[in-house]
Chains A and B, each alone.
Chain A
Amino acid sequence: MSEALLQLRGVSLAFGGLAALRAVDLDVAERTIVGLVGPNGAGKTSLFNCISGAYVPTEGSITLGGVDLLALPVHRIAATGVARTFQHPVLLPEQTVLESVLVGAHPHLRAPAVAHALGLRSARREERELRAAALEVLDRLAIAEVADVRTGDLPHGTQKRVEIARALLLRPRLVLLDEPASGLTHSEVDELGAVIRSLRDALELTVVLVEHHMGLVSTVTDKVVALVEGRKVAEGSAAQVQRDPTVVAAYLGTAA
């Protein structure tokens, strides 16, 4: 296998004396879908936050395509192609779907404030092209019909899809999905699995998802990594990880 797109080496994160992550190694190969599982508090979202720059690991290294993400100012990480969604959709309720996804393309936009202030053609063209690109992404995710609906009026499942659309507008290489299936109905979860696979195939994306929904994890992932108390305890296919005694013990408790 060629060198992994995303590489974590010995990533540790501590809040005061509390260790959230302990020397985690992770390799995510290009165009694969990797599932991150583990009980609540295992450090899954913390790991996401380290990759996307919200937290700075106390130790370790994180590289994307050979670029050292920890050496970058946090707001530059997105520009390297890392996009993410949140466990609970972070959307402004009064914004329409179209408006709320546009910000996803922020790192690609160049027109300076002066060009916008004076209404120069360059700024107007950039905005027009952005809107067209956004409508295309909404169409891909089958939410183009609700483009002008305020996000606050949408059901949870559609809000989660708006977040995915926003992430796609970055034209990312790596997408981090934080519990994309939480709060979805059965049929929505099935659709979500199809979406994630189609994105990987059509847009050549690499996906890491934090997920409790084992049905989704076993149908979409190429590899599953289990975290328990900040440590990586298992890695392999979904079936392998689900049988792993440490993982089973972490979820169900050990026999007395």
Chain B
Amino acid sequence: MSSLGTSRPMTGLPRWARLTATALLVVAVVSLPLNASPFVNLQLSIVLATAVALLGLDVLTGWTGQVSLGQSAFYGIGAYAVAVCTARGWPLLVGLAVTVLIAGLVGAIIAIPAVRLRGYALSMVTLALPVVAVPLAKRLDGLTGGSPGLATRTVSAPEWSGLDNDQWRFLVIALISAAVFLLVRNVLKGRHGRALATIRSSEVLATAMGIPVQRYKVGAFVVAAACGGVGGGLYVVAVQFISPETLIVTFSISLLAVLVIGGLRSTLGPLLGAAFYVLVPNVTGAVDAGQSYLLYGLCVLLVMFLLPGGLASAVHRVLAGAARVLPGSRPAVPDLPSQHPIPAPPLPEREVR
């Protein structure tokens, strides 16, 4: 169980510790909304929605090495698709399926010509997406409600659950996010993740290894777009409202920034990055409402200076430490200092046939 070129938070831990940690996490996620205020549930729901969008961006940027400034547009596509579908009374899953189709299709239409471009050209093409999407969302007011936005009622807590809407919505969002994370992580663990990592390190190498580089880049772009869409859809599930302002390009830039803050190529990275994006402004606003942005910027700098590998790298370090002391751990591979390299062992005698 390893993924390529990435930090693997729990692989060093013994099996019992991994299972216990997973079980505790599930219990925590399920019980959390029951004791939290509607505001907290809303915030946590937005964290998960943002994390799904960041997960997609990580496939494209962290794994494949392609920088996209268009993620907010796909977030918007998903948000509007779910809002429009649920406003018509269709089930949420239909809305999400429509989201994946439309976002994936738009992603493919942009990516197929764009991946042929080299260097920064792809980023510049993706920059155009939110620039076009915002006025488009305002113009298509028959569908999107125009500038004022579109309110909808996505899911409500069923009678039998005895839960409030905010609690139910959080659980629905948590379930869907977990499914998306699991699916994407499983794919990245195998040959597709290896292919993307190889493309990032060298396209000449990737081609020599028989990897169709452009096809994989388009694939990464489509996955990023679809995840962006699902993230936006989940945002609407939480907020019950979407307006064109959500799609603006600065949101794309924020997503890139918090992805790096969370940590690239790590399952935890998008979650921690999303938590930073949603929760830190609450804290800085509470400390000093007038200087909230300034304090937020300071937090960004602080994380980057102290943890260049992102917030996830700190968690990985703690888990690696735990793996060393917990009973039942596999003997860990020592962190070898590079000045004491392992010499290549002698070769066996030439085989005689």
Residues of A that sit less than 8 Å from B by CB: 49, 52-54, 73-79, 83-84, 86, 90-92, 94-96, 99-100, 102-104, 106-107, 109, 111, 113, 116-119, 123, 127, 141-143, 145-146, 148-150, 152-155, 157-158, 161, 166, 170, 188, 191, 194-195, 197-198, 201-202
Contacts and interface: CB of A to CB of B under 8 A. Distances in A.
Interface of B: 2, 4-6, 183-184, 186-187, 189-192, 194-195, 197-198, 200-202, 204-205, 207-213, 219, 333, 335-338, 341-353
B204 to A, nearest CB: 5
Contact of A116 (B2, B190, B209): B190
A123 B186 CA distance: 10
Contacts of A109: 191
Contacts of B207: 52-54, 74-75
B348 A127 contact: no
Nearest to B201: A92
B347 A106 contact: no
Contacts of B213: 75
B5 A94 contact: yes
Nearest to B188: A116
Contacts of B198: 103
Contacts of B353: 201-202
B333 A194 contact: no
Nearest to B349: A194
B2 A103 contact: no
Given A52-B207, A102-B4, 7 more contacts: A54-B204, A92-B201, A95-B197, A106-B210, A119-B186, A154-B341, A202-B353
A195 to B, nearest CB: 6
A75 B210 contact: yes
Nearest to A49: B204
B344 to A, nearest CB: 4
B345 A142 contact: yes
Nearest to A75: B212
A146 B342 contact: yes
